[in-house]
Chains A and B, each alone.
Chain A
Amino acid sequence: DTAVSQTPKYLVTQMGNDKSIKCEQNLGHDTMYWYKQDSKKFLKIMFSYNNKELIINETVPNRFSPKSPDKAHLNLHINSLELGDSAVYFCASSQGSAFNQPQHFGDGTRLSIL
């Protein structure tokens, strides 16, 4: 059983379009995250939700809007896609957001902007 699953795995689209990525976890965790990994493998947090409430919002353009309908799901909607948005986006989850909690990652969504 997949613990953290993301869809789609690949997303190829044109500049200016709007797209969404979905994430679901079946671990019973209450905290979920979105990360962006660039072409050099650098990984940076974008958002974090705890029990559907936004708790971390890094410096991310407001074209990116996360939504958490329940604590098992965290979706990411991106408006007006730009070339620089091309990356791999990872969803993750943890039980709580305490300093010693490990995170469980999905396999990533590779977004390519033409």
Chain B
Amino acid sequence: GNSVTQMEGPVTLSEEAFLTINCTYTATGYPSLFWYVQYPGEGLQLLLKATKADDKGSNKGFEATYRKETTSFHLEKGSVQVSDSAVYFCALSDRGGGSNYKLTFGKGTLLTVNP
């Protein structure tokens, strides 16, 4: 079946450092790819998405590019802030039955940013 592999955390950075969280996927067909973020005690929030090859999703200074040739969707940010501390999930859309789709998530990467 389809799957998502994320780099294992935790990741600890100093404020203003560069962030990369690796994500690769295995899928039949051409899934949509997503990054979700979960702040402590909250539900997941969509951070960005890309629906086809070479699309770049971006939001709040975060970016990720859908790379079909390397089946990757790595998350990057040039300068992290303490407020970016959260768990980050990479996900792909996956057929759940008929024409319906569901999200398959990676295991999440905990990011801690220190002042």
Contact = CB atoms under 8 A, between A and B. Distances in A.
Interface string A87-99: 0001010000111
B51 A99 contact: yes
B108 A100 contact: no
Given A102-B46, A103-B46, A105-B44, A43 B101 contact: no
A109 to B, nearest CB: 10
Interface in B93-108: 93, 96-105, 107-108
Contact of A4 (B36, B43, B49, B108): B43
Interface size class of A (residues with CB under 8 A): 20 to 34
Contacts of B102: 33, 45, 48, 56, 97
Interface string A38-77: 0011111100101000011000000000000000000000
Contacts of B25: none
Contacts of A40: 107
Nearest to A4: B43
Nearest to A90: B43
B32 interface: yes
Given A48-B96, A55-B97, A105 B43 contact: yes
A97 B43 contact: no
A43 B104 CA distance: 8
A86 to B, nearest CB: 17
Contacts of B41: 107
13 contacts: A40-B107, A41-B107, A43-B105, A45-B104, A50-B100, A56-B100, A97-B99, A99-B31, A100-B93, A105-B36, A106-B43, A107-B41, A107-B43
Interface of A: 4, 33, 40-45, 48, 50, 55-56, 90, 92, 97-108
